[in-house]
Amino acid sequence: MASTIGLTLSEWQQCYQQEPQQIYTLLASHLEALNRQDNAWIYLATPAQLNAQIEPLLTRYQRNPAALPLFGVPFAVKDNIDVAGWPTSAACPAFTYTAENDAFVVAQLKAAGAVVIGKTNLDQYATGLVGTRSPFGAVCNTFDPAYVSGGSSSGSASVLARGLVGFSLGTDTAGSGRVPAGFNNIVGLKPTKGWFSASGVVPACRLNDTISVFALTVEDAFTVASVAGGYDAADAYSRVHPHTAPASIKAQPDFAIPASPEFFNDAAAEATWDQALEALQASGATLHPIDFTPFRTLAEQLYYGPWVAERTVAVGEMLHRPQEMDPVVHGIVSSGLKYSAVEAYQAEYLRAELTRQIQQTLAQFDALIVPTSPTIHTLEEMKQEPVHYNSHFGTYTNFTNLADLAALALPAPFRRDGLPAGITLIAPAWHDRALADFGLRWQQQMALPLGATGKAPPAQHTPLSPSADHVRLAVVGAHLTGMPLNYQLTTRQAIWAEETQTASTYRLFALLDGPIKKPGLMRAEQGAAITVELWDIPLARFGEFVAEIPPPLGIGSLTLADGRVVKGFICEGSALSNALEITDFGGWRNWLASQGSN
C-alpha cells in the first residue's frame, strides 16, 4: 500500500476514485501507524470510532461522489473543539468531559466525508502562542525540537506539518492559527469572525475566538473553510455572509507593510522578511510602508488590559482550582479579576476607536502584509520568560480579531538557521477568498516544500472553485478597463478576471446617442466572436450595478466561446435599427481605434 503521509486533498481523493471500498483498510492502516506516544496527540480514534464514521459515507459516495468533496480525508481536531462521544479536555485533565454532539464545524466536515482521527494538544484553555503550556507536554517544532512549535494550536499544526492528516482544525483568538503555521512551514487560515460557528468550542475569549484551518496548500485550506463555514442560528455570534467583498486580489496589488517592523534583535527573522518583500515586489506588488502604531496599540490590549477578563469568564469555576491548571495559564487568566466594569467599557471604546483607524488605513490597500511572528524562541528560553517571549509572538497577530479582520498565514523563505518563517496577509472581514486567491499565487511562486514532509508542492495549483458569493459579468464596451464607466465596477469591489470572447453567435453595434458612446450586443444565428472582459462583482453589489444601466441596455446571459454562460450586457432589438453595426471589428476597442478614439 502506498504511503498516505503528506497527501493533499486531491491526492486523498485520487486514492479512492477507483476503489472507494478501500477507505476502511486505508484509514485503519493510517491510524494504526500513528505513534500513540506522540504528545501532539491527546486522543486518537479507536477502530470502532473510525468505522462508525466511515460506514454512513460509502453508500452516499457511491451514489454521488460530488456530494462528498472530502470523502475519506483524515483530519485532526484541536482538543477544545467537540467531537461527539470523544473527550474534550482543553488540555486540562480536571476539566475533561465527553462531548454529546459534534461541534457545528466538525459536523459540517463530517457531512462532506471527512473523518476525524484524533484530538490534538494545545496551550491549556488556548491561552498562549507557544505550545508549551500543557500538562501533556510541550509540542516541539517540526524542524528543530529545541524550538517551540507555536501555540496554542500546537498539536494541530505539528501533525499537519508532518503530513499525518489531510488538514487540521485549530482555534485563533490572538494568533493561535497563524503563529504555529509560521513556525512549521504550513498554511494557516484565520477566517472572518462569525463565518465559522463557535458551537461546540470551549471558549477562550468568546468575542474574539474563531476556529481556524491548517493545511499544506492554500487551495486545501480554502476548500476546507468553504465546507466548514456557514451561518449557525444556535451561535449568537455567527454571522451571515454579506456578499460584499472582492473575489480576488488584483494581479499587481498594493500592499501595506509596517514602516518600522520590530524583530526583537532577531537578525535572521529580519533578513527573511526582507527576502519576502523582494519576492512580493518581484511578483508585481507595490509595497506601501504605513504607521503601525494603531495596530500595535490594539494588539497590546488583548493581554495587557481588561480584555483578559474574557478568559477569566471562560475558565469559570476552574479558576478556583489553581493546582489543577498550568501555573502560567492560571496567572494570566486570574489577572482578569482585577479589572472593573468601568475599565472594561473604557477598553471597548479604545478598541472601537483603534479599529476605525485600522479599517480606514486598510481601505486604501488590497491587504496588509506582516511577518507572521517577529522572532522564535527555544523551549529553554520560554521557561525563562514564558510571558514576555509569548508577547513577542503576538506582535503581528493580537490585533486581528479585535479589529474584525481576516488573515491568512503563508510559508515564506526559510531563515538562514534552517527554521521556517512566514508572512501573513490581513484584510477586512469577509476578504477571506481574496486573500486565498493571492495565497495561491504566492505559494506557487515560492515553491517551498510542503510542511515538514519534504514533498515538493504541486506543479500546478488548482484555482479556487467558482464563487457563489460573486457574479461573473461580461462587459463589452464602456465598462471595459480604462473606459469611462469602468469605475462603476471598481467602486463596487469588482475584480477583473480575464479577457475572452463570446461564442460566434453575436452581433455588435455602436449606439451613438448620448454623452458616452456605448455598444449594443445581440444574439444572432449568424454573427461573430466578440471580445469581452470578465469581471467578478460581489453578489450584494450586483443589484446596485444593474440599477444604473440605462435603457436600451440590460443584463442577460451570454455564451462564451468555450461554452461557459455568464451574465453580460444585452441590448433591446428596437434600439439597434438605427445603430451602427461594428461586428466585423470583433470588439469595442478595435472599433474605437478605427475612429481615432480610446
- Give the domain CATH number at 298: 3.90.1300.10
DSSP 207: G
The predicted-structure confidence for 279-306, as pLDDT tens digits, reads as follows 999 999 999 999 999 999 999 998 888 9
The predicted-structure confidence for 323-379, as pLDDT tens digits, reads as follows 999 999 999 999 999 999 999 999 999 999 999 999 999 999 999 999 999 999 999
* CA pair distance 32, 44, nearest whole angstrom: 10
Across the range 237-260, mean pLDDT stands at 97
Residue 219 lies in a domain: yes
* CA pair distance 575, 319, nearest whole angstrom: 75
DSSP 61: H
Predicted local distance difference test score (pLDDT) of residue 597: 57
Whether residues 88 and 229 fall in one domain: yes
Domain that holds residue 330: 9-446
C-alpha cell at 173: 483568538
Catalytic residue among 152, 158, 197, 391: 152
Whether residues 234 and 341 fall in one domain: yes
Report the predicted TM-score, pTM, of the whole model to 2 decimal places.
0.96
Q: Is 31 exposed, middle or buried (0-12, 13-18, 19+ CB in 10 A)?
A: buried
Write out 81-141 in H/E/C secondary structure: ECCCCCEECCCCHHHCEECCCCCHHHHHHHHCCCEEEEEECCCHHHCCCCCCCCCCCCCEC
Residue 454 lies in a domain: no
Predicted local distance difference test score (pLDDT) of residue 578: 85
Domain count of the fold of the chain: 2
Percent of the chain with pLDDT over 70: 99
Is 374 in contact with 263 (CB distance < 8 Å)? yes
Concatenate the DSSP letters of all residues of 145-169 into one string. Answer: TTBB--SSSHHHHHHHHTTSSSEEE
Residue 394 lies in a domain: yes
* Sequence-ordered alpha helix ranges (H) in 469-560: 487-490, 539-547
Strands 506-511 and 518-523: antiparallel
Catalytic residue among 168, 176, 238, 248: 176
206: helix, strand or coil: helix
Residue 536 lies in a domain: yes
Predicted local distance difference test score (pLDDT) of residue 185: 98
**Is the pLDDT confidence value at 598 over 70?**
no
Whether residues 335 and 301 fall in one domain: yes
Whether residues 502 and 567 fall in one domain: yes
Q: What is the mean pLDDT of the chain?
A: 96
Q: Encode 459-495: b = buried (16+ Cβ within 10 Å), e = exposed.
A: eeeeebeebebbbbbbbbbbbbeebeebebbbebbbb
214: helix, strand or coil: strand
Confidence of residue 2 (pLDDT cuts 50, 70, 90): low
582: helix, strand or coil: coil
Confidence of residue 18 (pLDDT cuts 50, 70, 90): confident
**Lowest mean pLDDT segment, chosen from 23-32, 73-82, 508-517, 549-558:** 508-517
Across the range 184-198, mean pLDDT stands at 98
Whether residues 298 and 386 fall in one domain: yes
The predicted-structure confidence for 409-462, as pLDDT tens digits, reads as follows 999 999 999 999 999 999 999 999 999 999 999 999 999 999 999 999 988 777
Is 355 in contact with 298 (CB distance < 8 Å)? yes
Whether residues 322 and 424 fall in one domain: yes
Whether residues 474 and 436 fall in one domain: no
The predicted-structure confidence for 565-583, as pLDDT tens digits, reads as follows 999 999 998 889 889 999 9
**Is the pLDDT confidence value at 1 over 60?**
no
The helix or strand, by DSSP H or E, that contains position 262, with its residue range, turns out to be: none
The predicted-structure confidence for 489-542, as pLDDT tens digits, reads as follows 999 999 999 999 999 999 999 998 777 788 999 999 899 999 999 999 999 999
The predicted-structure confidence for 114-152, as pLDDT tens digits, reads as follows 999 999 999 999 999 999 999 999 999 999 999 999 999
* CA pair distance 560, 476, nearest whole angstrom: 12
Residue 491 lies in a domain: yes
Residue 550 lies in a domain: yes
C-alpha cell at 426: 490581513
Catalytic residue among 78, 110, 193, 517: 78
Strands 565-571 and 187-190: unpaired
Whether residues 410 and 499 fall in one domain: no
Predicted local distance difference test score (pLDDT) of residue 532: 98
**Is the pLDDT confidence value at 265 over 80?**
yes
Residue 32 lies in a domain: yes
Whether residues 341 and 488 fall in one domain: no
Is 403 in contact with 428 (CB distance < 8 Å)? no
Whether residues 515 and 405 fall in one domain: no
**Is the pLDDT confidence value at 86 over 60?**
yes
Amino acid symbol at 406: A
Q: Is 236 exposed, middle or buried (0-12, 13-18, 19+ CB in 10 A)?
A: exposed
* CA pair distance 419, 150, nearest whole angstrom: 13
Distances (CA, A) of 382 to 52, 128, 377, 388, 408: 41, 11, 7, 9, 26
Residue 452 lies in a domain: no
Whether residues 45 and 161 fall in one domain: yes
Is 586 in contact with 531 (CB distance < 8 Å)? yes
Q: Is 1 exposed, middle or buried (0-12, 13-18, 19+ CB in 10 A)?
A: exposed
- Is 250 one of the annotated active-site residues of the chain? no
- Is 176 one of the annotated active-site residues of the chain? yes
The CATH number of the domain holding residue 516 is 3.10.490.10
- Is 335 one of the annotated active-site residues of the chain? no
Whether residues 365 and 433 fall in one domain: yes
Higher pLDDT, 88 or 578: 88
Percent of the chain with pLDDT over 90: 94
